[in-house]
A = this chain, B = another copy of it.
């Protein structure tokens, strides 16, 4: 419980600070991209620790399952609720109660702020995948808080 709270509070502080620095309406993209980059580096670091004693992954789907189960549980204390794929490099990871959104009230009035609360995690996933050798683009969307979908598009070399 303590750890979750620490991460959540720290995450909020970062958003607030970065948002204050990269301020202005038109700069919203810069704030999101800074947060995404931070997540990327943290994801890279974390996956190294997590996979230290893990057997080699069989294939891309195996990697994704690891992200949805072990990785997600370590960071967010729950698994991804649903993983879908078109078997052509697109994966959709659905979290029905995404921890970093539970502080925002449900409903539509805060939807515009959602990208800031998701950017770090998009980077986290992209960084983790990148260190396992899977290059990707990760985006996120929210339709009803606090449920959230992360879409991973694997970039073929």
Chain B residues with Cβ below 8 Å from A2 are: 46, 49-50, 74-75
Please indicate the chain B residues that have their CB under 8 angstroms from the CB of A18 in the complex: 17
Q: Does A9 contact B45, Cβ atoms closer than 8 Å?
A: yes
For chain A, give the interface size range: 20 to 34
A38 at the B interface (CB under 8 A): yes
Question: A6 and B42: CB pair below 8 A?
Answer: yes
Question: What sequence of 0s and 1s flags, for each residue 1-44 of chain A, a beta carbon within 8 Å of any chain B beta carbon?
Answer: 11101110111011001100100000000000010001001100
Contact present for B38 and A6 (CB under 8 Å)? no
Q: Are B5 and A7 in contact (CB under 8 A)?
A: no
B42 touches A13 (CB 8 A): yes
Closest Cβ of chain B to A32, distance in Å, is 14
Interchain nearest-CB distance for A78 vs B (Å): 13
Query: How many Å from the CB of A35 to the closest CB on chain B?
Result: 10
Whether the pair B3, A7 counts as a contact (CB closer than 8 A) is yes
**Chain A stretch 108-148: residues in CB contact (< 8 A) with chain B:** none
Closest beta carbon of chain B to A80's beta carbon, Å: 16
Who on chain B is nearest to A3 by CB? B3
Name the residue on B nearest A46 (C-beta): B5
Q: In the bound complex, how far is the Cα of B49 from the Cα of A51, in angstroms?
A: 32
Q: A2-B74, A9-B41, A13-B38 are in contact. List 8 more A-B contacts (CB 8 A).
A: A2-B49, A6-B46, A7-B7, A7-B10, A9-B45, A10-B38, A13-B14, A17-B18
